[in-house]
Amino acid sequence: HHHMQGRIIAEANEVRRTAWDLIKFGCFFYFTKSVVFDITLTEGESMKPTLNGRGDIVLLDKLTVNLGRIKRGDVVVSSSPVHPQQLICKRVIGIAGDDVLVRKYGELPYYEQVPQGHVWVEGDNKRFSKDSRDYGPIPQQLILGRVLARVWPLTQFQVIRSNLTE
């Protein structure tokens, strides 16, 4: 009887320790997920060839955004300014104060200045991208994170570079 009680206490301690580990991990994960990293699914043709059209999962760096350090060339995920419940994945072409050369199909190119607190975003796949050329510069608050890497599919793991290709 006494032996049995000892085992129950030992098991209870084990459960408690495991629970605490999970809680610690959970808090850590929650913290990193909310402040530092997040992962999200990207869909659509607008970022080819950088990202596939169907269901890439990307790792987001949220710190850069929270610190206000988004640069030209960064690939970012943001809420759509047109459909707030939708996420969009685009490349930052211009930051506040920049004069961006806007090229729209069938129109003469013109310059537009990016206002304070906004960025100009375009898809890498210009022909199949709805972006700032359609809806203008987007508020920086809409940006959820900078894309660091494609993590899924695993066979196509790839660090996503911040670069501007003309």
Q: Is 132 a catalytic residue?
A: no
DSSP 50-63: TS-SS-EEEEEE-H
- Contact of 79 with 141, CB cutoff 8 Å: no
Give the number of other Cβ atoms within 10 Å of residue 71's Cβ.
12
- Contact of 147 with 75, CB cutoff 8 Å: yes
Q: Is 80 a catalytic residue?
A: no
Options 46, 78, 129, 132, the catalytic residue: 46
- Enter the tokens of residue 87: 């996420």
Options 78, 90, 129, 132, the catalytic residue: 90
Beta strands in the chain (DSSP E): 37-42, 56-61, 75-79, 87-95, 99-102, 110-113, 118-122, 138-139, 143-152, 158-159
Give the residue numbers marked as catalytic: 46, 90
